[in-house]
Structure 1
Amino acid sequence: MRPYLLFVCIFLSACVGLPAAVRDVPVAKVGYGEVSQDPNSYKATSVRWGGVVIDVENEENFTLVQVLSYPLNYSGRPQLNKQSEGRFVIKSSEFLDPAVYAKDRELTVAGTIEGDIERTIGKKHVRLPLLSSKGIYLWPVYQYQPYAYGGPGYGFSPYFGYGYYYGGPYWGGFYRPYWWY
């Protein structure tokens, strides 16, 4: 019985999902679509939203981050393959470096709604929901690796183990184990 219990504990700990920065903030099940209609009626409501950074403005005592909102998946990461919901602005009391919080970086934020704020998009003035952050998680950037681990020509295949990898145009990216030759 104990081996099964150990397996269940390990399995459940691997499925935690949300990053710690946004997991511990209690939130209401209020979506962006509801709040964007009338943000002032949802003041002091805690939410967890995410999206892609559009712009970062550092003021003297706070930072404003404009985000293009996307629905979140089970682990709290924005689903960029879904339809964008609109924009919102995050107000953070911390300094957020625009080089780190660069355009097109994915983030998830947990915080409370303060109302709305006026922003200019092109030549149009719009009112966007303003979210005071209690936790922000900046998602790591996926980097494409054209070759397997270990550099060009060597790598790991889930089917053959460690071996040689030929990613050239003639081999079509087929994994061949070292004993093949």
Structure 2
Amino acid sequence: MRFSVASIMSRCLVPAVLLSLAACAPAPIYKPAPDAVTVAPFQVAQSPEQFASRQVIWGGRIVGVTNLADHSEVEILAYPLDKSQRPQANDSGNGRFIAVMPGYVESLDYPAGGLITVNGQLHGSRAGKVGQAGYVFPLVQVNQAHVWTTEEMRKGKNNVHFGLGVGVGIR
């Protein structure tokens, strides 16, 4: 039985490349409950009573923080999450929601424009405004929250490119 170099390379290289690409994506940061809601915030806002007390893992871009007497509220423009539960900010928004956090939240730790993922229970909704337009915000009583760093958002992104020829990349 004869093996060509190309045959051996393809038998060894293809599985190795597939394994390395699969290993690039970090694991999800939160474990979803069996009854977790998988719909977007704008869908929950249409009938919040249908989803009362259900768990969600949502994320998006921080719009702002409001500190109140006994809790803080973080308004978030929702984005779909990838398999690692990182917000996909290049997607169109999926509505807005308010993350209700116990105690005082430092706005420097939750900066406007930052990306966040929260794990918590739906706890009703509240009418408010986005600009001059009326809006219904689902409220999420937060158990855990993670603000993503730029480095964490880059992790797991496929930086490997295949092709023929010569190329120069400058970053």
When normalised by structure 1's length, the TM-score is 0.65
The residue that corresponds to 1:130 in the other structure is 139
Deviations 1:23-81 (A, max 9, x none): 14626142114312211221100010000000100001000110000000000000011
1:50 alignment partner AA: G
Post-superposition Cα deviations, 1:141-178, rounded to whole Å, max 9, x if no partner, equal 349xxxxxxxxxxxxxx9xxxxxxxxxxxx9849xxxx
Q: Secondary structure at the match of 2:150?
A: coil
Task: Name the counterpart of 1:46.
Answer: 55
Q: 1:172 to 1:38 in 2, by over 3 A?
A: closer
1:93-148 alpha-carbon deviations (Å, 9 max, x no partner): 132111121111000001110110122222233211111101101101349xxxxx
Aligned residues: 135
1:30 maps to 38
More strand per residue: 1
Following the alignment from structure 1 to structure 2, what is the Cα–Cα distance between the partners of residues 15 and 126?
35
Q: Once superposed, which parts of structure 1, at least 4 consecutive aligned residues long, lie more than 3 Å away? A: 11-16, 171-174
Q: Which blocks of at least 5 consecutive residues in structure 1 are unaligned?
A: 1-10, 144-157, 159-170, 175-181
Equivalent residue for 2:28? Answer: 18
What residue is the counterpart of 1:121 in the other structure? 130
For 1:26-175, what aligned pairs fall within 5 Å after superposition? 26=33, 28-32=36-40, 33-142=42-151, 173=170
Please give the alpha-carbon distance, in whole angstroms, between the structure 2 residues aligned to 1:79 and 1:136: 17
Percent identity (aligned): 24
The alpha-carbon deviation at position 14 of structure 1 amounts to 8.0
Contact 1:25/1:111 (<8 A) preserved = no
Contact 1:105 1:139 in 2 (8 A): yes
CA distance in 1, matches of 2:169, 2:102: 51
Give the direction of change, closer, same or farther, for the CA distance of 1:126–1:13 in structure 2 (3 Å limit): same
